Amino acid sequence: MIDRQLVPASAAEELPRLQGLAPQVAPDTRWLVLGSFPGVASLQAQQYYGYPRNQFWRLLGAALALPLAEADYPARLALLRAHRVGLWDVITATQRRGSLDSQIRDPQGSDLLSLVQRLPDLHTIAFNGGTAARIGLRQLGPEAARLRIFALPSSSPAYTLPFADKREAWLKIASELDQPS
């Protein structure tokens, strides 16, 4: 019998290394929304939340009272910048088959701590889903204590919480958007 821990070949080694998207932030960013890692459709489009069934733009649009879901991608990013909201992911590179977080292998964390330290106006981080929250909080370490942190239900269609329940959770951050920490 082969000891599986000693076998060097694994499914992760057979998968290509995927590179995530660049952070979408400005020097005056006050809010940062962090996902885990872009799905296949997002990577192909080179757009955050590029899969049409992902509910991110509807959810964040409701929280910001902005028509993000109706806008094209450049307009979405411009609206976020105008409202001092940034986007990034807690994983910058990984191996994965498909788009599910459960399939992430050999993740390389984003340099979240460095980014946060370069954003003097940042006061709040909202994690889009449990995987993003778990990884992101580890990356932030003690720096998280100076920030307001929200762990929101994932906008992914794979997370089967009804949209109305996701929306209710995301709307709770709306009152916090312009409040200093």
Contacts of 85 (CB under 8 A, 6+ apart): 29, 30, 31, 32, 33, 60, 64
Report, as an integer, the average pLDDT of 90-118: 94
Q: Which CATH class is domain 19-176?
A: alpha beta
Q: Is the model's pLDDT at 11 over the cut of 70?
A: no
Going 20 to 112 to 31 to 131, the CA torsion angle's sign is positive
Q: Is the model's pLDDT at 61 over the cut of 50?
A: yes
DSSP states along 94-120: EE-SSS-GGG-EEEEE--HHHHHHT-T
pLDDT for 14: 81
Catalytic residues: 54
Predicted TM-score of the model (pTM): 0.89
> Quick one: pLDDT band at residue 6, thresholds 50, 70, 90?
very low
Identify which has the larger pLDDT, 34 or 179: 34
85: its two tokens:
């909201």
Domain locations along the chain: 19-176
